[in-house]
Amino acid sequence: MIHPYVTGYAEKLALKAGETQRFMISAEGVTAVDVQIVRLIHGDENPAGPGFIEHEVDASCNAPVSVVHQFTQAGSYAEVPDPALKIRLEHGFTVYAFIWPTTPDKGPQGVITQCSSAEMRGFGLAISSRGRLALWLGDGANYAEIEADKPLVAKLWYFVAASFDPLSGTVSLYQAPVINAYNSLLSPIVPLDHPTYVTTRITTRPAALQRPLLFAGFHDRGTHGDCVGGLYNGKIDRAGLQARALTRTELDALRGGSEPPPDGRLARWDTAAGYTDTGIGDRIIDTGPHGLHGRGINRPVRAMTGYNWRGRNDCFRLNSAEYGGIYFNDDAIIDCSWQPSVEWQIPIDLKSGVYAARLRGSDVEDYLTFFVRPAQPTAKVAMLMPTASYLAYANERFVLDAPGVQVLTGHPLVLHDQDYLLHAHPEWGRSSYDHHSDGAGVCYSSYRRPIMGLRPKARMASTGVPWQFAADMSIVYWLEQTGIAYDVITDEDLHYGGLAAIKPYQVVLNGTHSEYYSEKMLDATETYLAEGGRVMYLGANGYYWVVAFRDEEPWCMEIRKLDSGSRAWQAAPGEYYMATTGEKGGIWRNRGRPPQKLMGVGFTSEGMDESMPYRKLPDATNPTVAWVFEGVTNEVFGDTGLGLNGAAGIELDRYDLGWGTPPNTWLLATSEGHSDHYPHVGEEVMFNYPGLGGTQDFQIRADLTLFGTTNGGAVFATGSISWGQALPINADIARITANVLQRFLDETPI
């Protein structure tokens, strides 16, 4: 039984008034929905707050729309077009590759194929349903599978090949390990019986298939039509295709790293070719005579170690020849590639803000969120929506796939419809906090897919409160209540626009959890502050992880989690540098840019059982900064909020001169009373010992700080994620924030 739903995504997450937006919609159990553009004001439906608030917008696209189910091709693979039909196999062939399979036992998987299971044509170097190297041959009526006699072992490097001689009908399968002390899960000392060379004779002759050759899958057909099936998990390194059957001696030479024989060479894909100092793209270069170059689909992961990695170099920039590994995953998704259902020409005079296409049908509803900046800046204040962090958490699957999450948060799970829907649709992808089906960390995230957390009413099941986007809507609501004019901009605008994106504004407010930052974003923010700009950092655990974007693909972000920081996975040795830009991943403090240097505070703890209040410190009464607390008489404040019942909680930042907090920083207030569900962050724990929780460690706190920068700039930081969610209902928190905003709008130096 199909549970009816409608969902979709906006083609662009961030755009300018006057541009065109398109919405990709898919549904099951319904055939039509009403589309209504709305401006979003507040999302949290908690009855203690203002509730859900939207304003309908008169838009040309508001209308009933027919909807259908749209298929998503999940899984990363590569296509090699052959329009000139250079791949001719009538005189025999050999197909070979270096492989590092991660799930050889999961079922049939294509390695290097040009075959169709539906048409029963072509050939394929593959892994069989029994986890063995196989050759597939189809003549259009029959399909033959020839297996090796020994299984493949996960996470070991092999050289594999299959040959076919049509004159004799002889098939040969060659499998040999290429394990060294560094490149595989197991050491060469383990007595596994790897090598095999199998020959047999068959009567099947492969019929040509005029479709692209594939890496990591094979052509298939389902109820939705043609697709790629048999998706492979693991790495593929250098591969090739010869137009004759190579001898065992010739295969031994290829295994040793020799070039393939020149006679009959059809293709030789050098997966280590194409690197530059700034990374590598999706193109797989063929150094053979026909230039049969491949193109990765759904972003196969590059900058990965290959079969010949020796452990000395940890970056492709040092020795790219050791980085031929391309990692494929059967559940990767970058672009659902759905057809547009609705198009809207955004009016040039549309008010900047947070918008959505609201979809409603019979018992179904969804919101496709996007952000509109003005055609020209119109206000002195900008609300910077941390869309890079939205991407990092996009479609997090903590609910059912992270068994330790309840221990981490101190809450039982509270499931919502969005959690069930996401679980039913693995093809919509995972977040950077999740793992692929083979256990590899997810290092790419994209907004060209439905993202459950980008819905205004979304709540994180593991904490029971809004998270990221929905939490940031409490700041938007508060801004609306102040009556102060503001524009909405995004991380995407900041990354691609640089300083120009924020320079027109006197004050920039950041969100509750601006955790993920590119170097361009950091550089622009630092220059903005140095030139007199003012930032209100209304969150915590911000400016933390390094991320990267391609110049031409803003919808996809790369992340590499390294051996420091609070992380759900860790990149493998030698794979710490991002394919997108060539930069080292990890946390910014390990590249010399801890958040304290820029914002005055930096990550110290995360908890999520309960939020706590702040207590004023002596600096709060200094006449120079006493204006911050004008109208706030309580020594202890912030004991209510929509984010776990207080203003200081969920994740916390602290003042620390040792990590670069400017020495002219005013330490205005600090939180107190945190439980042992708030442990000290791992990057600061050199040795584990008792006493690192909130009841004993003085560093487990949220610090409220203020400092001035050169040329009259300033930074106000709250040190707490839940501060923003306290704004709608806590008068003291709202008053302090308003005091700071009003003062920051006064051009007098702080």
Tens digits of per-residue pLDDT, 424-469?
999 999 999 999 999 999 999 999 999 999 999 999 998 999 999 9
Measure the CA–CA gap between 34 and 168, rounded to whole angstroms: 65
The residue type of 721 is I
DSSP string, 653-703: EEE-GGGT--TT-EEEEEE----TTSPBPGGG-SS--S--STTT-TT-S-E
Residue 337 burial (CB < 10 Å; 0-12/13-18/19+)?
middle
pTM: 0.97
List Cα–Cα distances, 422 to 146, 288, 522, in angstroms: 39, 44, 33
pLDDT value at residue 333: 99
Mean pLDDT of the chain, nearest integer:
97
Nearest to 207 by CA among 116, 314, 305, 98: 116
Instruction: For residue 55, give both structure tokens.
Output: 């304003």
Tens digits of per-residue pLDDT, 630-669?
999 999 999 999 999 999 999 999 999 999 999 999 999 9
Positive or negative torsion for Cα 507, 511, 513, 518: negative
Instruction: For residue 603, give both structure tokens.
Output: 């990550």
Tens digits of per-residue pLDDT, 32-54?
999 999 999 999 999 999 999 99
Whether 558 and 586 have beta carbons less than 8 Å apart is answered as: no
pLDDT of 1 over the 70 cut:
no
Annotate 638-663 with b (16+ C-beta within 10 A) or e (fewer). bbbbbbbbbbbbbbbbbbbeebbbbe
Number of H helices and number of E strands within the chain?
12, 42
DSSP string, 76-109: -EEEE--TT-----TT-EEEEEEEEES-TTSS-E
Can you tell me which residue has the tokens 């601006």? Answer: 514
Read off the pLDDT of each residue in 496-517 and give the average, rounded to a whole number: 99
Measure the CA–CA gap between 667 and 664, rounded to whole angstroms: 10
Nearest to 666 by CA among 743, 557, 566: 743
Nearest to 35 by CA among 69, 53, 15, 58: 58
Annotate 251-287 with b (16+ C-beta within 10 A) or e (fewer). beebbeeeebeeebbbbbbbbbbbbeeebbbbebbbb
Whether 2 and 362 have beta carbons less than 8 Å apart is answered as: no
Instruction: For residue 417, give both structure tokens.
Output: 């419809």
Read off the pLDDT of each residue in 157-164 and give the average, rounded to a whole number: 98
Whether 163 and 148 have beta carbons less than 8 Å apart is answered as: no
pLDDT value at residue 48: 98
Cα radius of gyration (the chain): 28
The residue type of 525 is T
More reliable by pLDDT, 326 or 750: 326
User: What is the SS3 assignment for 20-81?
Assistant: EEEEEEEEECCCEEEEEEEEEEECCCCCCCCCCEEEECCCCCCEEEECCCCCCCCCCEEEEC
Tens digits of per-residue pLDDT, 531-585?
999 999 999 999 999 999 999 999 999 999 999 999 999 999 999 999 999 999 9
**Minimum mean pLDDT range among 138-142, 396-400, 675-679:** 396-400
Tens digits of per-residue pLDDT, 232-274?
999 999 999 999 999 999 999 999 999 999 999 999 999 999 9
Measure the CA–CA gap between 137 and 332, rounded to whole angstroms: 28
* CB contact set of 373 (below 8 Å; sequence gap of 6+): 14, 15, 16, 17, 352, 487, 488, 489, 490, 493
Instruction: For residue 689, give both structure tokens.
Output: 């010992």
